Amino acid sequence: MKRLSARLYRLSARIYLSFFRLDEMKSLFLRKAFRQGYNIEVGEYSYGCFDRDRFTPNMTIGRYCSFSRSCRRVNANHMLNFLSLHPYFYNTKFGVVAQEQVERFHCQIGDDVWVGHNVVILPTVTSIGRGAVLAAGAIVTKNVPSYSIVAGVPAKVISKRFSDAIIEKIEASRWWELSSEALKNVADENWDWIRSPETLPEGSLADYQKGNVQS
CA–CA distances in Å: residue 177 to residues 35, 96, 190: 20, 47, 17
Residue 7 is inside which H or E element, if any?
helix 2-20
Tell me 120's DSSP state: E
Query: Which amino acid, residue 125?
Result: V
Tell me 190's DSSP state: -
Distance between CA atoms of residues 30 and 186, nearest Å: 28
Distance between CA atoms of residues 161 and 132, nearest Å: 8
Q: Which segments within 48-112 are labelled E, that is strand?
A: 59-61, 66-67, 72-73, 107-109
Catalytic residue among 78, 86, 106, 117: 78
* Sheet with 139-140, side-by-side order of all strands: 72-73, 120-121, 139-140
Instruction: Verify whether residue 78 is a known catalytic residue.
Output: yes
Q: Measured in whole angstroms, how far is the alpha carbon of residue 199 from the centre of its chain?
A: 27
Distance between CA atoms of residues 55 and 57, nearest Å: 7
Task: Write out the catalytic residue numbers.
Answer: 78
